Amino acid sequence: MDTQSLRLFVLACEKLNISAAGRALGMAPAVASTRIAKLEHFLGADLLHRSTRKVSLSIEGQDFLPYAREMIAQEEAALAALGKGRTQISGTLRFAAPSSFAQLYIAPLLPKFIDLYPDLTLDLHLSDTQFDLIEGSYDLALRNSVLEDSTLTARKLADDQRILCASPDYLDRNGTPKIPEDLHSHRLIAFRDIEPRGLIKTDGTTAVYNPKRAAHRLLLNDGMTQKKLTVDGVGISINSLWSVHKELADGTLIRVLEEYHMADTPALWLIYPKSNVVSAKVRVFIDFLIENIGRAQTWHGVA
């Protein structure tokens, strides 16, 4: 199978434009359309739906896309093993991450990464809501939950720690909770889809943090907004230490129920579709994030 046609197909999926994908590979629009048609004829399936305005993936195209990427990665790995791989990292890397973490830690590093790999295009999807890695056709994603999908591979970026905190002003006005049950009478700021979380005291006593049982709640789906509202004295919220360690250090926020910690031990994971070969563009970005974020972990040991 012609891997150049596979590259064209993958690029057309990313750009949703066959002509633009062809131009990126040095092909005239007519040549690009012909190569896609030949690939479809070879496979016996329509991979792309064409119209006068746009191109979209067919169901067969969605199924074939990860295999096309795999075959391209296999070729690059084989050439690299023979010392004939391309030294330039190019193409488009589709990366998804929680917007809160990306704003604080990833965005400041992007100028450095772009300088290192100027021929690589980053297509970033930043949102604190859940997403599907496969359906979204992402090359790589950052998650702060345990990996359950067997079709994905994970590499740990850094440890995480969730804590309850509030502003000094809020605690002055509303009192400081002494036991988890006290939270029921407070205003809790929480993500809309948050589930009850187990709490363990230093002496082994267990309890449950459940915002749905609180008398007053403020629900949202953005971590930075949650932190700002907590700093502004609106209520008590659960936050990752990486998000609030500076506010804890300068006293803007105060840890609540400090004798308790979350029963689970979350971490930040870089996940990608399971494959025998990790493409060069994914590998260099993973290594870059681990080197500049994972090994630094500036929030470690604050709480």
Q: Is residue 220 part of a domain?
A: yes
Does position 275 have pLDDT exceeding 90, yes or no? no
Last residue of a domain, one of 56, 81, 106: 81
Among 176, 173, 102, which Cα is nearest to 144's? 102
* Gap between the Cα atoms of 135 and 273, Å rounded: 11
Q: What is the pLDDT of residues 92-131, one digit of tens each?
A: 898 999 998 999 999 999 999 999 989 889 999 988 876 6
Please report, for the domain that includes residue 203, its CATH number. 3.40.190.290
Res. 262 pLDDT band, cuts 50 70 90: confident
Beta-carbon contacts of residue 40 (< 8 Å; ≥ 6 apart): 46, 47, 48
Pair (137, 276) in one structural domain: yes
| Total domains in the fold of the chain | 3
Last residue of a domain, one of 57, 81, 105: 81
* Gap between the Cα atoms of 43 and 276, Å rounded: 22
pLDDT of residue 95: 93
pLDDT of residue 50: 85
Pair (213, 258) in one structural domain: yes
Q: What is the DSSP string of the chain?
A: --HHHHHHHHHHHHHT-HHHHHHHTT--HHHHHHHHHHHHHHHTS--EEE-SS-EEE-HHHHHHHHHHHHHHHHHHHHHHHTT-S-SS--EEEEEEE-HHHIIIIIGGGHHHHHHH-TTEEEEEEE-SS---TTTTT-SEEEESS----TTEEEEEEEE--EEEEE-HHHHHHH---SSGGGGGGSEEEEETTPPPEEEEETTS-EEEE-GGGSSEEEEES-HHHHHHHHHTTS-EEEEEHHHHHHHHHHTSSEEESTTEEESS--EEEEEEE--SS--HHHHHHHHHHIIIIITT-TTTT--
Does position 265 have pLDDT exceeding 90, yes or no? no
Please give the average per-residue pLDDT across 68-88, as a whole number.
70
Beta-carbon contacts of residue 145 (< 8 Å; ≥ 6 apart): 266, 269
Q: Is residue 62 part of a domain?
A: yes
Pair (139, 275) in one structural domain: yes
* Gap between the Cα atoms of 270 and 238, Å rounded: 23
Res. 14 pLDDT band, cuts 50 70 90: confident
Token match 């479809």: residue?
40
Q: Is residue 303 part of a domain?
A: no
Pair (60, 183) in one structural domain: no
Please report, for the domain that includes residue 30, its CATH number. 1.10.10.10
Pair (48, 186) in one structural domain: no
* Domain region containing 127: 91-160+266-294
Name the maximum alpha-carbon separation found in the chain: 72
| Residue 177: CB atoms within 10 Å | 18
Pair (270, 156) in one structural domain: yes
Q: Is residue 251 part of a domain?
A: yes
Pair (140, 166) in one structural domain: no
Last residue of a domain, one of 26, 50, 81: 81
Q: Is residue 29 part of a domain?
A: yes
* Gap between the Cα atoms of 275 and 294, Å rounded: 23
Q: Is residue 300 part of a domain?
A: no
Pair (121, 131) in one structural domain: yes
* Gap between the Cα atoms of 93 and 82, Å rounded: 25
Q: What is the Cβ-side half-sphere exposure of residue 11, based on CA atoms within 13 angstroms? A: 25
Res. 148 pLDDT band, cuts 50 70 90: low
Does position 87 have pLDDT exceeding 60, yes or no? no
